[in-house]
Structure 1
Amino acid sequence: MSIRVENLIKTYGKQTALDNISFRTQSNHIIGFLGPNGAGKSTTMKTLTGILPIESGECWINDINVKKDPIQAKRNIGYLPENNPLYLEMYVSEMLQYQAELYGLKNTKKRIQEVISQTGLTLEKHKKIKQLSKGYRQRVGLACAIIHDPQVLILDEPTTGLDPNQIIEIRQLIKELSKNKTVLLSTHLMQEVEAICDEIIVIHQGKIKEQFLLHEKDSKYPNRTMEEIFVLLTKSSS
């Protein structure tokens, strides 16, 4: 259940957003995808999910080529973008029903109940999404992302704007989901990286600067915190 990227390039006019990047993740891991604003994180995620076309290079989701077999690749991906795109006038259960139908799922009632339970939305399922706190809206976004039981989750800053209690709850949910899924997670919170990630990828100015397993941190960067490592790898010069 891995993500593989080879020689990926993406430009916007004269600006190079992704500069020939390559990486491969391990399976059933939470991978922290780190970098400053504008580093290329969201562009990479949108390319992996098929939202942005591949300009040059190759991407695979569980050995499925995103360019050659985009529909099958998307069946294996659950995506939560940074700006959680929910229909605020829908009820929680209605939103999940709509999402399930988009994926052509059968026996949707059972699956919706499973996902509602899994994401802790049982008491909120009859509420309109606009009535929910941001933390619960993020839970609905995650529920939509996993409704079709994908093997890979791509989450773009899923805890941004949440209070400390909500952050802990969403982290626990992501950790639970990662038991049988690969999770690529972007975040600016170094505490979050240390709390839940198994693997780290750092991108800066459209280039991969580092990749390592979290348990290798102390041997690779002795006596440095994740925050110090981040600063070291993402100084303004290339």
Structure 2
Amino acid sequence: MDSETLIEARALTRRYGPNVAVSGLDLTLKKGEVLGLLGPNGAGKSTSMKMLTGNLSPTSGEVLIKGKNLRADAQAAKRHLGYLPEQPPVYPELTVDEYLSYCAGLHGVPRKERSAAVTTAKRDCGLTQVSSRLIGNLSKGYQQRVGLAQAIIHRPDVIILDEPTVGLDPIQIREIRNLIGELGNQHSVILSSHILPEIQAVCDRVMIINKGRSVYDATIDAHLGKSGLVVVFAHPPQIDALQNLPGVNKVDAGPAGRFLIELADGADARDAVVEASVHGGWGLRELRLETRTLEEIFVELTSGEATLREAA
């Protein structure tokens, strides 16, 4: 595990009796990254988050946080984590200052440093003006900000956020997204959501999870907006035969003779594909040029229309 890798999860699996919630998940988070976990409801996002934070023990697999094994040395590993679950863990009868001071103590912030830690967290999360307000009297958006403040109060290397904008109104969603973007300048972040614009707005990299498995892992702009070819052959060739064609950047193979060809910038390899198919006897059945969006990738990989696996 190199010094740039903050989290490394290996073959994480979680079973509930005969049901498999997460199956063989591999995940890495580098310093300075904002990673979005995207998937439909029930895909295994929250279960994955709970295992990454030590709130749920995996059936098999392991998690390393800055080289510390989360199972073998949980206390040392968790010092580097801040976590905001889907429901903010706030106490409505406490004021913002009281709650954040309490959280600072739980996170091991020395007593003489707690006041400064609370002040900094409030500033970063836009809570300075509500310091003395009871949390229970705050709007849901501000309660979410309090939840974020407790996650960063000990200045962890990694912040893990599970559905941080669920149940908020559009203005609150925008405010929380902006806040997460700002936090990403100081911390590495894992953000779980099933809302595509949220992932696109704040993340550098996206991992799509479907039925407990990772089906896509790439930087946010790796394929988005780029032209590609979808081709289908009756007698599919080896990937190398397509990869070596002029103008081809990358080839991913799918089921039933289907290929997704990523084109180099400004290239159009359609004539080369047709010519190679004729000479090779591949039996070209379909050839179309398309520009992919994250929504199209998401639907394709989670609706059963395809089983392509792409990696950055």
TM-score interval, smaller chain:
over 0.9
Alignment partner of 1:86: what SS?
coil
| TM-superposed deviation, 1:225 | 2.1
Partner of 2:154: 148
| TM-superposed deviation, 1:159 | 0.8
Matched-pair contact (CA < 8 Å) for 1:30–1:184? yes
Equivalent residues in 2 for 1:12-161, closer than 5 Å: 12-106=16-110, 107-161=113-167
AA paired with 1:230?
F
Question: Which structure has more RCO (C-alpha within 8 Å, separation ≥ 6)?
Answer: 1
AA paired with 1:50?
G
1:3 matched to 2:71? The reply is no
Distance 1:93 1:217 in 2: 45
1:229 matched to 2:233? The reply is no
Distance 2:89 2:48 in 1: 19
Relative to structure 2, which stretch is displaced further, 222-231 or 212-221? 212-221
| TM-superposed deviation, 1:2 | 2.7
Partner of 2:249: none
| TM-superposed deviation, 1:4 | 1.2
| TM-superposed deviation, 1:65 | 1.5
| TM-superposed deviation, 1:148 | 0.8
Alignment partner of 2:71: what SS?
coil
AA paired with 1:226?
L
| TM-superposed deviation, 1:224 | 2.3
| TM-superposed deviation, 1:161 | 1.3
CA RMSD in angstroms, aligned pairs only: 1.6
Distance 2:51 2:22 in 1: 10
Alignment partner of 1:217: what SS?
coil
Structure with bigger strand share is 2
| Unpaired segments ≥5 residues, structure 1 | none
AA paired with 2:198?
E
| TM-superposed deviation, 1:236 | 4.7
Alignment partner of 1:90: what SS?
coil
Matched-pair contact (CA < 8 Å) for 2:6–2:65? yes
Equivalent residues in 2 for 1:153-192, closer than 5 Å: 153-192=159-198
Matched-pair contact (CA < 8 Å) for 1:54–1:67? no
TM-score, length-normalised on structure 2?
Answer: 0.73
Matched-pair contact (CA < 8 Å) for 2:38–2:195? no
Structure with bigger helix share is 1
TM-score, length-normalised on structure 1?
Answer: 0.95
Distance 1:210 1:41 in 2: 14
Distance 1:175 1:62 in 2: 23
Distance 2:121 2:173 in 1: 19
Matched-pair contact (CA < 8 Å) for 1:41–1:203? yes
Rg larger in 1 or in 2?
A: 2
AA paired with 1:71?
Q
Change (3 A) 1:47 1:205: same
Q: Deviation string for 1:81-102 (max 9, x for gaps)?
A: 0111211111111100110111
How many residue pairs get matched?
238
| Unpaired segments ≥5 residues, structure 2 | 229-261, 263-289, 308-312
Q: Deviation string for 1:166-222 (max 9, x for gaps)?
A: 111111111111112110001122111111110000111111101000120234785
Alignment partner of 1:211: what SS?
strand
